[in-house]
Structures are given as structure tokens and as C-alpha cells.
Amino acid sequence: MFSLLGLAIFWSTACGPAEWGETSVWGHGYTVHFKMPKPFKRAEGYITLATGRTPFEKGYVTEGDEDHKFQIRVMEMPVGAWQMDGYTPRKLLELALERENKGTDKMLEVKAFTDLNWPANVNPAEEFMIVSADRQTVRHTRIMVYETTGQRECYACYVLLTASRPTAEPRSHDVDRFFNSLRICTNDESPTGC
């Protein structure tokens, strides 16, 4: 009797929903809070831009389940440096998208969105559904671009959220849970009072 009860408890915990954790990424004048399935690890490094600049991209990625991967990336640079290199907010969004969208992948859906809890200076913000070139994986991607004020100057930043799944599976509620967990807190006024 006890062994059946133990087996039932093991089965319900082993097959239950993934445990989620909350963490954050911070930079000059902002903190980005989010939740994602555990376990996850830091994923960061320098990105080489076409101009030769090498800004540092911070982020996290889930571990273990390669078919259902969640990742967040955040990058910032002073507004003056972006402008000197010819970047507008739109081009910054496209730069973030290039981090996720390989040249032969196919974009199926694009939509703009907003969140009343975000700072007013989040613009543009778009969501993409991308199918890999081999048609095995679908990536749901959200990108937000915003400006924030540091101690001495203004910074332009992007936040890139990605959740992947096998093509044969429908979009999971976990994708929306991940996307909707995002909070952007800046030194500027924010409706959430972060």
C-alpha cells in the first residue's frame, strides 16, 4: 500500500509542471525582472556590431530541455553611440531580431503590442513567430526597445525574449507566462512604481 502511495506521489511530482524562478538583469538606469522555468543559467557575452563596436549582452537561458528553450537577452549602449553608428529605435529592434532570426528562417507572424505597466518610452515593441529553416522548431520572440537615463547619459536598450517549441506542438501557456512576467523598471517614472 505504501509503495503504491509513494509511486503516485513520485509520478505526480515527476510529471507535474516545471518549477519557475524569478531573476533580473540590470544596467544603467534600469532593471528587467522576469520569470522562467528552472533550471536556467547566465548567457552573456560581447556582440560585434557591423561598425566594430562590441557592446555586452546580458541574459539567461533554460537548461536541459532543448525542445522547449526559454531565453532572455538584454543589451544597452549610450544613445549617442547608437546614433553615431546610424541606429534608430527601429534599427535597434532589427538588430535584436537578427540575434534570433537566421537568414533562412521564415517569419510567419509579426504584431506590435504594448503593456500599460511599462514605462512610456518603450517603443517599438513587437512579437514574432519564426519557423526554423529545417521546419523542426518554432520560436516565439518578443523584442522591446526603450531609452533610460543613467547617472550621466541616456541609454538605448533592447530586451529580447524567446521561447522555442517543436513545430508539431501548439503554443504553450508557458510562452505567455514567460512573456507576461516581464517588468521593465527604470529611473524614469514607471506606472508600476518599480
d(CA 112, CA 147): 18
Q: Give tens-digit pLDDT for 25-48.
A: 999 989 999 999 999 999 999 999
Sequence-ordered list of residues with C-beta below 8 angstroms from that of 130, at least 6 positions apart, any chain: 100, 101, 105, 106, 107, 108, 138, 139, 141
Average pLDDT for residues 157-164, to the nearest whole number? Answer: 95
Over residues 58-87, the pLDDT tens digits come to: 999 999 888 999 999 999 999 999 999 999
**Residue 102: half-sphere exposure toward Cβ, Cα within 13 Å:** 10
Q: How many helices (H) and strands (E) does the chain have?
A: 4, 11
What's the pLDDT tens digit per position in 163-175? 999 999 999 999 9
Q: Which three cell numbers stand for residue 86?
A: 546610424
Pair type for strands 137-149 and 20-27: unpaired
**Cell numbers at residue 21, please?**
524562478
CATH class of 19-186: alpha beta
The alpha-helical segments, DSSP class H, found in 77-130 are: 79-84, 89-100
List the grid coordinates of 19. Answer: 518549477
How do residues 125-136 score in pLDDT, each as one tens digit?
999 999 998 999
Predicted TM-score (pTM) of the model is 0.84
